């Protein structure tokens, strides 16, 4: 199993450009999520999905869109990049417990480092 | 939503000494508290966790304690080694979301 994979590893964008960060997992996990990591602020939840076709907002969703057409993939779209979106982005997945709760172990991808000029 | 506060933000310890990191959470619905270790340039890795129905859990040199009444939980690392140098994050889980603390940079001095 490859686990959770992310592409690209590093990206430079100009303000106003759009792009999609890719995330895929091969563990048949229902729950997937996107975090951004900024110095001194830990990891902040952007969006999450509890299964194909179901997404919801996290703590800092503005400027980002997501969709979940398959169990395996959960892309994150930046609609119009801004310097404030310069960050390291992590995708994570976990199994889905009964009653709608997310599984206990979150598996993180290797991260995408994004620089917006 | 859940708010997790973590202290201290940096911690420097002599090799062999103990390190303690403390976190507080706000949402009484949180029922699972993992700790992650992140080395420079790497992804966060789960090192230990505790459920809300347990007060303490230990795994070799690492232990975690939970006080549900006070909404506090702590990570204890004993006999620290150079490879323990990293950023440590606490987190609290509500049914659909995992909220993280801001992180503690631990440096173990040889």
Please report how many Cα atoms fall inside a 13 Å half-sphere around the Cα of residue B29, on the Cβ side. Answer: 10
| Under-70 pLDDT residues of chain B | none
Are A59 and B103 an interchain contact pair (Cβ–Cβ within 8 Å)? no
Contact A20, A28 (CB under 8 A): no
For residue A33, give the chain B residue with the closest CA: B97
pLDDT given for residue B94 in this prediction: 82
Closest Cα in chain A, distance from residue B2 (Å): 10
Tell me the chain A residues in contact with residue B40 when contact means C-beta distances shorter than 8 Å.
none
- What is the predicted pLDDT for the residue at B2? 84
Sheet containing B62-67: give its strands across.
B4-7, B19-25, B72-77, B62-67, B56-59
Q: Identify the CA nearest to B76 among candidates B100, B53, B50, B101.
A: B50
Q: How many helices (H) and strands (E) does chain A have?
A: 0, 11
Predicted pLDDT at A105: 78
- Among chain A residues, the shortest Cα distance to B46 is held by A105
Residues of chain A neighbouring B46 (CB-CB closer than 8 A): 105-106
B43 contacts A106? CB cut-off 8 A = no
Q: Which of residues 15-74 of A touch B (CB under 8 A)?
A: 33, 35, 40-45, 48, 50, 56, 58-59
pLDDT of residue B1: 78
**Mean per-residue pLDDT of chain B:** 94
Closest CA–CA distance from residue B55 to any residue of chain A (Å): 17
pLDDT tens string B92-107: 988 778 899 999 999 9
CB spacing of B96 vs A41 below 8 angstroms: no
CB contact under 8 A, B89 and A106: no
Report residues of chain A scoring pLDDT below 50: 99-100
Among A47, A37, A42, A35, CA closest to B3:
A42
Q: Are A116 and A15 in contact (CB under 8 A)?
A: yes
pLDDT at A40: 81
pLDDT at A11: 97
User: Between chain A and chain B, how many beta carbons pairs sit less than 8 Å apart?
Assistant: 57
Q: According to the model, what pLDDT value does residue B96 have?
A: 78
Q: Is B9 on the interface with A (CB under 8 A)?
A: yes
A106 to B95: CB separation less than 8 angstroms, yes or no: no
Contact A108 B45 (CB under 8 A): yes
């Amino acid at each position: 199993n490859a686990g959770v994979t992310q592409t690209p590893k590093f990206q430079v964008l100009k303000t106003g450009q759009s792009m999609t960060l890719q995330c895929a997992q091969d563990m048949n996990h229902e729950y997937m999520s996107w975090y951004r990591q900024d110095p001194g602020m830990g990891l902040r939840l952007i969006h999450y999905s509890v299964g194909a076709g179901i997404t919801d907002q996290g703590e800092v969703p503005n400027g980002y869109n997501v969709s979940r057409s398959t169990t395996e993939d959960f892309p994150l779209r930046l609609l119009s990049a801004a310097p404030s979106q310069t960050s390291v982005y992590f995708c994570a997945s976990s199994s889905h417990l009964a009653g709608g709760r997310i599984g206990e172990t979150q598996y993180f991808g290797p991260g995408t480092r994004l620089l917006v000029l | 939503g859940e708010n997790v506060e973590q202290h201290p933000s940096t911690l420097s310890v002599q090799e062999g000494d103990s390190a303690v990191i403390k976190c507080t959470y706000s949402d009484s619905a949180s029922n699972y508290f993992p700790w992650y270790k992140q080395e420079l340039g790497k992804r966060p890795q789960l090192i230990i966790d505790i459920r809300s129905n347990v007060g303490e859990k230990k795994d070799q040199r690492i232990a975690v304690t939970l006080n549900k009444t006070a909404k506090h939980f702590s990570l204890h690392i004993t006999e620290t080694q150079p490879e323990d140098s990293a950023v440590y994050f606490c987190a609290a889980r509500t049914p659909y979301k995992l909220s993280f603390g801001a992180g503690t940079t631990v440096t173990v001095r040889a």
